[in-house]
A and B are shown apart, each in its own frame.
Chain A
């Protein structure tokens, strides 16, 4: 009785151990690739929103709105970049928002979103409307039928402006 208890458990334990080992090895191989690829993506996104910067310096400032995942300043002081993570309708929306030293948006871009296809798509197709806007965001209306996504996007941009003011205040 006892014997036919041990063999199955041993077999299962061996398989678990082998698989866990294989996964650890796989992880060791792929993790650096995944990380360097994600760093490269982040850098290329920053270069897309502020093309003429030579380098980006990450800012560690306290009290930023909690939706601001990362904040950067260009090394030649031409503008600020905020990576914003807000909750939309179907999960996280990750934005990158570049604000110039004049307090106007240089460019915004969506890095990742899982909003409803079709209905919420216009929100992301109208990103160019934000270019040149100041913190009042005058003239940005919600896309009908996709109010939650629109508001999430807009609030994310407003949070970026809030962070911008805080950082500017700290620097002054």
Chain B
């Protein structure tokens, strides 16, 4: 397992194939929670955490249980249940053992259950036939990319909130157009990766 390939996966999933800006995964929490930098950082960190945890659980289950017994068709069902249960356990555990962290992240955890980026990353790991290390790198990169996109965008959004666009564009249309420009900006990263790994 060479290290370079892992770094390439992390950079690739964080910057180039950014979940929100390029693959349209997790748009709802992205638009819903990106109003303030503080909240969006909290949400982003929770997503990184849950993505890593979900991958660490779903990958072995897929490889050692579902594939071994020819139950591949239960993938979607089982993964979404695992993620929902996992989020609950994490919430309970964090609440009990690290109250400080809970007060910072607690409100975002339940929102993650219906975040398609989490289910997306676990299914994509299997689809791309990644190894365990590669899957974890993919989850880490994807989560960090989500965090980055959220924080950068909430910074932009704090400014667009105070502008005075034509009435029809007020609210969501303006927000979406800002996302579009940010997404365009992320296209620049494709060149970077070619320089690094080409």
Q: Quick check: A89 and B127 within 8 Å, CB to CB?
A: no
Nearest CB of chain A from residue B182's CB, rounded to whole Å: 17
Q: Does A119 contact B (CB under 8 A)?
A: yes
A27 to B69, CA, bound (A): 14
Stretch among A35-43, A56-64, A145-153 lining the B interface: A145-153
Q: Quick check: B197 and A148 within 8 Å, CB to CB?
A: yes
Nearest CB of chain B from residue A147's CB, rounded to whole Å: 5
Q: Does A14 contact B (CB under 8 A)?
A: no
Q: Does A122 contact B (CB under 8 A)?
A: no
Q: Quick check: A92 and B12 within 8 Å, CB to CB?
A: no
Of chain B, the residue at the smallest CB distance from A24 is B73
A23 to B167, CA, bound (A): 50
The B contact surface, by secondary structure, is: helix
Q: Does A20 contact B (CB under 8 A)?
A: yes
Q: Quick check: A151 and B198 within 8 Å, CB to CB?
A: yes
Neighbouring B residues of A145 by C-beta, 8 Å = 190-191
A92 to B134, CA, bound (A): 14
Asked, given contacts A27-B73, A89-B12, whether A148 binds B128 with beta carbons under 8 Å apart, the answer is: no
Of chain B, the residue at the smallest CB distance from A142 is B198
Asked, given contacts A89-B12, A91-B127, A145-B190, whether A23 binds B197 with beta carbons under 8 Å apart, the answer is: no
Of chain B, the residue at the smallest CB distance from A92 is B128
Asked, given contacts A90-B17, A91-B127, A151-B198, whether A20 binds B74 with beta carbons under 8 Å apart, the answer is: yes
* Residues of B163-198 contacting chain A, CB below 8 A: 190-191, 193-194, 197-198
> Chain B residues in contact with chain A, CB under 8 A?
12, 16-17, 73-74, 77, 124, 127-129, 190-191, 193-194, 197-198
Q: Quick check: B194 and A147 within 8 Å, CB to CB?
A: yes
Q: Quick check: B129 and A92 within 8 Å, CB to CB?
A: yes
A89 to B74, CA, bound (A): 28
Q: Quick check: B74 and A148 within 8 Å, CB to CB?
A: no
Q: Does A19 contact B (CB under 8 A)?
A: yes
Q: Quick check: B190 and A119 within 8 Å, CB to CB?
A: yes
Neighbouring A residues of B191 by C-beta, 8 Å = 145
Q: Quick check: A148 and B129 within 8 Å, CB to CB?
A: no
In the complex, besides A89-B16, A147-B198, 15 extra interface pairs with C-beta distance below 8 angstroms are: A19-B77, A20-B77, A23-B73, A23-B74, A23-B77, A24-B73, A26-B73, A89-B12, A89-B17, A91-B124, A91-B127, A92-B128, A116-B190, A148-B198, A151-B198
Interface residues on A, range: 10 to 19
A89 to B8, CA, bound (A): 10
* Residues of A77-131 contacting chain B, CB below 8 A: 87, 89-92, 116, 119
Q: Quick check: A148 and B193 within 8 Å, CB to CB?
A: yes
Neighbouring A residues of B128 by C-beta, 8 Å = 87, 91-92
Neighbouring B residues of A19 by C-beta, 8 Å = 77
Nearest CB of chain A from residue B75's CB, rounded to whole Å: 10
Q: List 12 A-B contacts (CB under 8 A).
A: A20-B74, A23-B73, A27-B73, A89-B17, A91-B124, A91-B127, A145-B190, A145-B191, A147-B198, A148-B194, A148-B197, A151-B198
Of chain B, the residue at the smallest CB distance from A120 is B190
Question: 0/1 per residue, A138-172, Cβ < 8 Å to B?
Answer: 00000001011001000000000000000000000
* Residues of A12-26 contacting chain B, CB below 8 A: 19-20, 23-24, 26
Neighbouring B residues of A119 by C-beta, 8 Å = 190
A26 to B74, CA, bound (A): 11
A90 to B190, CA, bound (A): 12
Neighbouring A residues of B17 by C-beta, 8 Å = 89-90
